[in-house]
Every structure is written in C-alpha cells, then in structure tokens.
Amino acid sequence: MKLEDIKSIGILGAGVMGGGIAQCAILAGKNVIVRDLTDEICENARDVILNSRFGFNKAVELGKMTAESKDDAMSRLSFTTDVAGLRDCDLIIEAIGGGEDGAIENKPLKLKVWAELDEVVNKDAVFASNTSMFTIADLAEVTSRKDRFIGMHLFSPANIMKLVEVTGTEETTDDVVQLIVDLSESWGKTSIVLKDVPGDTGFIGNRIMAAVRREAMKIVDEGVGTREDVNLAMTLGFRWPAGPFPQGPSARSGWK
C-alpha cells in the first residue's frame, strides 16, 4: 500500500492526541473519521480542532489559513460512536488514552480494541498505534495482520510537534514502514524508523526522558540542588527549552 492508496483514515480516540492527529490528516487532504464512546466527547474534539490555541479559527485569525481552506479541511472530518463506522478505512491510527487508574496508556484496553477492530475493518487496512511505550509486536499479536501493524508515535500536541517515531516489528513489511514515513512527511513531520523491542520500555524519546527524570529526582533527593536548580542547569547550561521538572503547582503534583 502506498500513500496515494490511503483514501480514508480512522482514528480511535477523540482526546488531545486523536484530535491533533485528525487535524494533521485533514489538513493534508485525507478523509478522517474519529471514533470515541460518546457524542459529547466527539463534539468536544471538534470544538478543540476549531477553537483551541492551535485550532483552525485561530489560524484564520492570524492569517495563516483562509476561511475557505478551513472549511475544506473540516469537510473531510467526521465522527462516530460506532466502531463499524471504521469498516472501510484504509488506515486505522489508535490514540487511546489511559483508564480510571490515571495511567497515560492502558495496554489491556488497547489489546481488546485492536482484537475487536481486526474483525470489523477491511482486511487490507493498515493498523498503527500511537503508543509511546508498549511493544508493538504485543499489540499486533491479537490481530490477523501482523505484517500490516506498526507503531506511529506522534508527540503532543500532534498538530504542532514535528517528530514521529515509526516502529516496525520483525513481521511489519517494508512497504508499510515506508507508507507511514511518507504519511508523516506529508503532514510536515520528520520520522525516525526504530526497532521494536520487548518489555514495554518505550522508544527513544520516552526512554531518554525517563532516565533524565530519574537522575534529576536523585539529585533533588540527595540535596545536591532543588528542582528549580535542575531546570536552570539544563535550560541555561545546555540550552534545553525546558527542564525535566514540570513548572507550576498543578504540574508538580505527581512529583515528590
């Protein structure tokens, strides 16, 4: 399958990631159908795409987009609460978040949904997961299309950040890897092609940041410096755009 063969993209999840991915796809001229559990969630996603800080209406206001191009892009976007609505899609991108435990991602839920979709979506469609941490081969295992299953991790906000981690398994075919690379580039992204490994360790970005945050917390625990000291060391000393510790009271709630 090649980029020109992708006529319709289905997106699982209408949250921040799903909505951002949808925004990229419709801007690039692809028809998109987003599926989530309720009409309310879907309508909220539509509102975010139009009215958020990086939404289309703001782009029109700033002269970065015309009203006509906005209307054209939105005409390619639809929503559904019925999984059968994704039946005829050529590519499915899963962007399902976490569960009630507060985790960012929920592996059992992803496995359940992929198994269900495999029975519904046309057998030639490619499946791509936006997971930032789970082993792609594990997710592919519950489907009958392991050769057409791949990782496509966009960073948040997906419509702004430029990197895509493309992760193929030992069974993912070369043409599927190239398809996702080409799709990413058509969205104005830069892709890196990575090797899938067992253990749910994540890919390059999350593994590096996890190590950084562990060491940063160790520095604070040892009394070497404060969170603010660590952030200043990395932003001023190494020109990082932000330090490893989130800023502000609400952002720090998950830290010691």
- Express each pLDDT in 203-251 by its tens digit: 999 999 999 999 999 999 999 999 999 999 999 999 999 999 987 543 3
Residue 148: C-alpha distances to residues 3, 96, 114, 127 (Å): 14, 19, 13, 6
Q: Tell me the pLDDT band of 252, cut-offs 50, 70 and 90.
A: very low
What residues have CB less than 8 Å from 84, skipping those under 6 apart?
A: 120
pTM (2 decimals)? 0.91
Element (H, E) at 220: helix 204-221
Q: Catalytic residue positions?
A: 132, 153, 165, 206
Model confidence at 97, pLDDT cuts 50, 70, 90, reads confident
pLDDT tens profile 137-177: 999 999 999 999 999 999 999 999 999 999 999 999 999 99
73-97: average pLDDT? 97
Helix (H) or strand (E) holding 34: strand 31-35
d(CA 158, CA 185): 13
What is the Cα–Cα distance from 30 to 8, expressed in whole angstroms? 6
Is omega for the bond preceding 198 within 30 degrees of 0, making it cis? no
Residue with tokens 């899963």: 94
| Domains of the chain, each with CATH number or no CATH | 3-195 (3.40.50.720), 204-254 (no CATH)
